[in-house]
Structure 1
Amino acid sequence: MSEESIPDIKKVVNKSNIRIIGNIQPGEVYRIGCSIEKAVEILYEAFSRKISALIKSREKAIEIHKRALKLPYVFFALLDGEIIGIAGLHYSNQSFLEFRYTDIRKSFNPFKSVFYYFVFRMVVPKIGKDVIRIDSLAVDVHFRGNGVGTMLIEEVCEFARKNGFREVMLEVVDTNPRAKALYERLGFVQKKVKKYYFLTRSAGFSSESIMSRQIEANT
């Protein structure tokens, strides 16, 4: 997925002050210590071109993503009690975003609600039972370049190892070569390329690379 052009306003932080937490179960929201709405805003800002190609209203897009967020399938990067990054996962037939028709209907008319419901269901690929897929990785614009994305990925890979998964996969669009280079440095290799040509032009890309990192068995 491609990221929007953003102001070059960066904050340099000590990585030792960044805390990664994930796999938050029902009733454990207190572990985050702040509103999850910030995570949804970070997600939207990172992928606004792709999201807005489908949903024009920023407010409505954030609303339905907030309702769809499933905490057990999210890893958060926290700094001083503030969310600065998010990794949304997909594994065991579950995804970090679950778009229910009843939730979508709160923001759209019946026709659009049915349309969005089926579109959201179609965009989640089938994966193996021993695979964790990083569906979305996003870092607050002000904290990019501090290794937050790397920390999130490594934490996900460690979670995969501890829980018996053998592979972590992700997708990266052709218009985001910097992200692809990062994933390659972290041990991901390209498995195949999916071409969409003009179908996804409005979303800012025409193809995406499917990348994979093998996870050693827990001994």
Structure 2
Amino acid sequence: MRIEVRQGLPPGQRRLAAELYWQAFGGKLDRVMGPEPRALAFLERVMRADHVLAAVDAEGRLLGLAGFKTPAGGFAGGTCADMRAVYGVWGGTWRVLMLRALQGDVDNERFLLDGICVARDLRSRGIGSALLEGICAEAVRRGYPAVRLDVIDTNWRARALYERQGFIAIRSHRIGLLRYVFGFNAAITMVRPVAG
């Protein structure tokens, strides 16, 4: 399969991008972002095409994506107003508070990967590796010396991919009582040097 990694989302595939993202992260975000139809509506609303790399096939079909975070924002962050528009005032407010408690800050020293996902039926075909290489190339293009990501302690498959791609675990951050909401105990920070 021919894989091309491009900046932005393919035309007309915003809904598919939201579905891929939810497929990858819905397991840990469902209690806060669910129900699924609202989560997909929120993701479609907030996804930033200027903060994502997309893996596509020869026909331009979306196979996977890798979001990133910069001081200008993240791929699927959105604002309080976006959250309230989809979930209402009360529903949006408590969701914002829960997500802020979980999310890390922007790393101004390293390029920050903010979520990578590949269509479930296309995994183990090199798409994730191609996206990671694309993120590393984007980091170099932007002048960063390294890429940083966080992976949850229960996602051993993703961590193995990151390790094969040269990422090294540098710390583990326990999330305390939030584990009862999000379903994992800790986030592991991993870094890969890309320049210098």
Q: TM-score, normalized by length of structure 2?
A: 0.91
Higher-Rg structure is 1
Structure having greater relative contact order (Cα 8 Å, sep ≥ 6): 1
- Paired residue for 2:71, among 72, 89, 92? 92
- Is residue 157 from structure 1 mapped to residue 136 from structure 2 by the alignment? yes
Spell out, residue by residue over 1:29-70, the C-alpha distance to the aligned partner (whole angstroms, 9 max, x if none). Answer: 6xx233211011001011111121213310001111111111
CA contact (8 A) 1:91 1:131 kept: no
Instruction: Structure 2: give runs of 5+ residues left out of the alignment.
Output: none
SS at match of 2:133: helix
Q: Quick one: distance in 2 between partners of 1:124 and 1:204?
A: 15
Give the residue type in structure 2 aligned to 1:196: I
Q: Quick one: distance in 2 between partners of 1:109 and 1:197?
A: 28
Identity rate of aligned residues, in percent?
Answer: 25
Find runs of 4+ consecutive structure 1 residues off by over 4 angstroms. none
- Offset of residue 137 of structure 1: 0.6
Q: TM-score, normalized by length of structure 1?
A: 0.82
Q: Quick one: distance in 1 between partners of 2:107 and 2:20?
A: 29
- Paired residue for 2:109, among 109, 113, 130? 130
Spell out, residue by residue over 1:113-167, the C-alpha distance to the aligned partner (whole angstroms, 9 max, x if none). Answer: 2222333444432243232111111100110010101100001101111221111
Instruction: State the aligned residue count.
Output: 195
Instruction: Structure 1: give runs of 5+ residues left out of the alignment.
Output: 1-13
CA contact (8 A) 1:99 1:120 kept: no
1:198-213 matches, within 5 Å, as 198-213=177-192
Structure (1/2) with the larger helix percentage? 2
Q: What is the RMSD of the two structures over their aligned residues, measured on CA atoms? A: 1.8
SS at match of 1:152: helix
- Paired residue for 1:139, among 94, 118, 143? 118
- Paired residue for 2:16, among 30, 38, 41? 38
SS at match of 2:124: coil
- Offset of residue 104 of structure 1: 2.0
1:22-37 matches, within 5 Å, as 22=7, 24=8, 32-37=10-15
